[in-house]
Amino acid sequence: MIGRESSILGDYFLRALGVFGMWFCWAPVFFPKKTVVWKGGNHAPLSRRSKLVSALTWTAWCLVVFGIAPIFCAALFAIGVLSLFMLSRQDRQTLRCGDRNPRAEADHEEAVLVAFLCG
């Protein structure tokens, strides 16, 4: 009986984490003036495509946790994570080539926090 109770609490925790993470990942999509950067490396700002893929990836994970088409959404989550690896490389390359976003330094602290929460 004790194992089942802790499993229920874990389910609630994962659901709360999913909803909280979805809010933080969809916020930069709907409010594009907020700059979000990749953590580590050169802190390249996320492109619009990266923001959208990140939000969709979190949404897929949240759907898995809530039990809505778990196999399909888990596959979408895995594809989203792999595509974010490629998009982070492209965003960092864009920053290295000189297409620097001037707002990236102004909102750096806030952007690092959001990037940390969004993965």
Q: Decide if pLDDT at 111 tops 60.
A: no
Q: Indicate the domain borders of the chain.
A: 2-118
Note whether 46 and 91 are within 8 A (CB). Answer: yes
Note whether 43 and 108 are within 8 A (CB). Answer: yes
Q: Quick one: pLDDT at residue 3?
A: 47
Alpha carbons within 13 angstroms on the beta-carbon side of residue 93 total 6
Confidence of residue 2 (pLDDT cuts 50, 70, 90): very low
Measured distance CA(1)–CA(69) in Å, rounded: 28
Confidence of residue 37 (pLDDT cuts 50, 70, 90): confident
Q: Considering just the CA atoms, what is the radius of gyration of the chain in Å?
A: 16
Q: Which has the minimum average pLDDT: 6-15, 39-48, 110-119?
A: 110-119
How high does pLDDT run on average in the chain? 77
Q: Is the pLDDT higher at 5 or at 66? A: 66
